Chain A
Amino acid sequence: MQKFIGLFVGTISLCVLPQLASVFFYQRPFLLTLFVGSLFAFYGLAWSYPKMITYLSVNMNVSSITNRIKIDMMEEITNLYPENWIVGKNLLYKRAVINPDTFKILILSPFETGYLYSVNYKKLEKLSEFILNSDVGSLFENAYQKPVVGEFIMKDTTTLLALVFSEEIKPSQINILKQEMSILVKDTFKVAQFRSHTQDINFGVRKLVDIAIKAISPAVNDPTTCLNCIDQIGEIAKELAIKEFPSADSRTLGSKKIQINEFNFEEFIDFCYDQIFQWGKEDPTVVKRIIRSIRIILPLVNNPFNLKILIQQVEEMDLLEIYNLSNYKNGNLKISKEKLTTIELELANFRQKAKLQIKVLEQKGVLEHYEMHHYSDNLAITNAEIEAIKYLKVYKIFDESICVNGNELIS
Chain B
Amino acid sequence: MMTQKLKYKIKNIFIHQLKDLGTFLGAVYALVIGSALMILEYNIDFGVLFKINIFDTYSRLIAVSNVLISILIGISLTTFSVIFVVMQLASHNFHPEFYGIF
A residues bordering B, Cβ < 8 Å?
Answer: 1-19, 21-22, 25, 28-38, 40-42, 44-45, 49, 52-53, 56, 59-60, 64-65, 68-69, 72, 75, 78-79, 118, 194, 196-198, 207, 210
Contact = CB atoms under 8 A, between A and B. Distances in A.
A331 B4 CA distance: 56
Interface in B48-90: 54-55, 57-59, 61-62, 64-66, 68-69, 71-73, 75-76, 79, 83, 86
A60 B100 CA distance: 9
Interface of B: 4-5, 8, 12, 15-16, 20-30, 33-34, 37-38, 40-42, 46-47, 54-55, 57-59, 61-62, 64-66, 68-69, 71-73, 75-76, 79, 83, 86, 93-95, 98-102
B38 to A, nearest CB: 5
Give the one of A3, A6, A19, A40 with max B CB within 10 A: A6
Contacts, number: 164
A34 B65 contact: yes
Given A14-B30, A15-B68, A1 B101 contact: yes
Contacts of B21: 2-3, 6
Given A5-B26, A17-B30, A32 B40 contact: yes
A75 to B, nearest CB: 6
A11 B25 CA distance: 11
A17 B39 CA distance: 12
A49 B98 contact: no
B65 A10 contact: no
Give the one of B5, B16, B41, B93 with max A CB within 10 A: B41
Given A12-B72, A15-B65, A60-B101, A28 B8 contact: no
Give the one of A12, A19, A118 with max B CB within 10 A: A12
B72 A45 contact: yes
Given A5-B22, A33-B37, A56-B101, A12 B61 contact: no
Give the one of A29, A35, A52, A198 with max B CB within 10 A: A29
A13 B102 contact: no
Contact of B41 (A15, A30, A78, A210): A30
Contact of A9 (B8, B29, B58): B29
Contacts of A19: 62, 65
A70 to B, nearest CB: 11
Given A3-B25, A10-B28, A33 B34 contact: yes
Contact of B69 (A4, A12, A21, A31): A12
A143 to B, nearest CB: 24
A126 to B, nearest CB: 20
A2 B54 contact: no
A7 B72 CA distance: 11
